[in-house]
């Protein structure tokens, strides 16, 4: 009898423990943060053991340092057909929180939702402000490059043809490929390679040298020989572009 009584007690204890565990598991709220816009934060949440009863949710916004800068409680009781179709109770478990991002500083924020102190799945992020506008503002405020006159230079032209490049084509002595309205051949003792200069309003980069380019002489690269002949020989003022 004692053995039977002990066995019965153990069985009842196991059943009660399983029932308690099942109840605790069923009581865990389920939910998901879904979308953040310029004015709203949306998601859904419900209690599995009470699928037709709305629950309360707290939505928190944190800055890049993890500090909570916005918090609002809301009842998840909005009807959503997709939730009803997925078997989440009567479907009345959506929630929407309005937010005025203009009241917060520019930056990247994370948005989390909590139900019964349990974090809902999926953390949202929102970038407050317009990075492109900030970049444009920086460009507008960037200092204008200074032009320093290097004096008058003789300028001629060359192109990829065998007559001009002697088989080098577009290949330059610095390894760059010569490009029209960009590449010039210089005397590196006068204008070091990589230097940017302005000639007749066009910015060029010193990327090449030529056998006949000495002193105040610049050879400008063109795409074809006709343009080279059209340029001919000119004496123009050359400006160094200084930051």
Which structure tokens are listed for 103?
């009241």
Q: What is the mean pLDDT of the chain?
A: 84
Residues 165 and 204 in one domain: yes
pLDDT at residue 219, as a whole number: 95
How many helices and strands, by DSSP H and E, does the chain display? 5, 15
Cβ proximity of 205 and 182 under 8 Å: yes
Can you read off the two tokens belonging to residue 214? Answer: 């000495």
> How much is the pLDDT for 136?
56
The reply to whether 138 falls in a domain is: no
Residue 12 CA to residue 6 CA, distance in Å, equals 10
The CA distance from 193 to 213, in Å, is 14
Would you state the pLDDT for residue 112?
92
Same-domain check for residues 95 and 184: no
Per-residue pLDDT band for 2 (boundaries 50, 70, 90) equals: very low
**SS3 letters across 136-174:** HHHHHHCCCCEEEEEEEEEEEEECCCHHHHCCCCCECCC
Is residue 70 assigned to a domain? Answer: yes
- 125 and 169 share one domain: no
- 68 with 156, same domain? no
Instruction: Measure the N-to-C terminal CA separation of the chain; round to a whole number of Å.
Output: 99
In a domain, 23, yes or no: no
Q: How many domains, the chain?
A: 2
Which of 102, 130, 158 corresponds to the end of one domain? 130
pLDDT tens-digit readout, 136-195: 555 555 566 789 999 999 999 999 998 888 878 899 999 999 999 999 999 999 999 999
- Report whether pLDDT(132) > 70: no
pLDDT of 20 higher than 50: no
Per the domain annotation, does 16 fall within a domain? Answer: no
Map residue 5 onto helix, strand or coil: helix
Q: What is the pLDDT of residue 13?
A: 53
**Do 101 and 162 share a structural domain?**
no
Residues 34 and 125 reside in one and the same domain = yes
pTM, whole model, 2 decimals? 0.46
Last residue of a domain, one of 130, 156, 174: 130
- The verdict on 120 and 167 lying in the same domain is no
- Contacts of 209-213 with C-beta under 8 Å, sequence gap 24+, read 209/173, 209/185, 210/158, 210/185, 213/185, 213/186, 213/187
Last residue of a domain, one of 130, 156, 176: 130
Give, for 117, the enclosing helix (H) or strand (E): none
pLDDT at 1: 44
Residues 43 and 76 occupy one common structural domain: yes
Distance set, CA 89 to CA 48, 51, 119, 160 (Å): 8, 4, 20, 75
How does residue 39 score in pLDDT terms, banded at 50, 70 and 90? Answer: very high
Question: What percent of the chain clears pLDDT 90, i.e. is strictly above it?
Answer: 53
Q: Quote the radius of gyration of the chain (alpha carbons, Å).
A: 37
Q: Cα 100 to the chain's mean position, in Å?
A: 23
Interval 88-130: pLDDT, tens: 889 899 999 999 998 998 888 999 999 887 888 888 889 887 6
Provide the CATH number for the domain around residue 205: 2.40.40.10
Residue in the structure block whose two tokens are 């990829």: 160
Check whether residue 103 and residue 150 sit in a common domain: no
| Candidate from 18-27, 63-72, 139-148 with smallest mean pLDDT | 18-27
Q: Rounded CA gap, 232 and 184, in Å?
A: 15
Mean pLDDT of 181-210: 94
> How far apart are the C-alpha atoms of 78 and 239, rounded to whole Å?
68
> Domain residues for 196?
146-242
Report whether pLDDT(28) > 80: no
Reading phi first (left if > 0) and then psi (alpha if -120 to 50, else beta), residue 113 is in: beta
In a domain, 136, yes or no: no
- Structure tokens given for 217: 């002489």
CATH number of the domain within which 82 lies: 2.60.40.380
- Across-strand partners of 50? 47
What pLDDT does residue 88 have?
87
Are residue 230 and residue 150 in the same domain, yes or no? yes
């Amino acid at each position: 009898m004692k053995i039977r009584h002990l066995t019965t007690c153990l069985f009842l204890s196991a059943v009660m423990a399983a029932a308690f565990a099942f109840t605790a598991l069923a009581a865990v709220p389920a939910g998901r943060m879904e979308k953040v816009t310029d004015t709203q934060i949306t998601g859904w949440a419900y209690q599995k053991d009470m699928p037709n009863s709305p629950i309360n949710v707290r939505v928190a916004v944190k800055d890049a340092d993890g500090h909570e800068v916005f918090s609002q409680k809301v009842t998840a009781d909005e009807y959503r057909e997709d939730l009803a179709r997925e078997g989440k109770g009567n479907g009345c478990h959506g929630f929407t929180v309005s937010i005025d991002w203009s009241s917060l500083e520019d930056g990247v924020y994370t948005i989390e939702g909590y139900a019964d102190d349990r974090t809902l799945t999926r953390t949202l992020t929102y970038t407050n402000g317009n990075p492109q506008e900030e970049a444009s503002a920086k460009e507008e405020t960037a200092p204008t490059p200074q032009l320093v006159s290097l004096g008058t230079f003789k300028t001629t032209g060359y192109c990829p043809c065998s007559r001009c490049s002697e088989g080098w084509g577009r290949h330059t002595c610095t390894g760059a490929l010569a490009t029209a309205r960009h590449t010039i051949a210089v005397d590196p003792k006068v204008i070091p390679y990589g230097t940017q200069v302005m000639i007749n309003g066009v910015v060029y980069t010193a990327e090449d040298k030529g056998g006949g380019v000495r002193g105040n002489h610049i050879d400008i690269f063109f795409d074809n020989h006709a343009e080279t002949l059209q340029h001919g020989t000119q004496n123009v003022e050359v400006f160094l572009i200084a930051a």
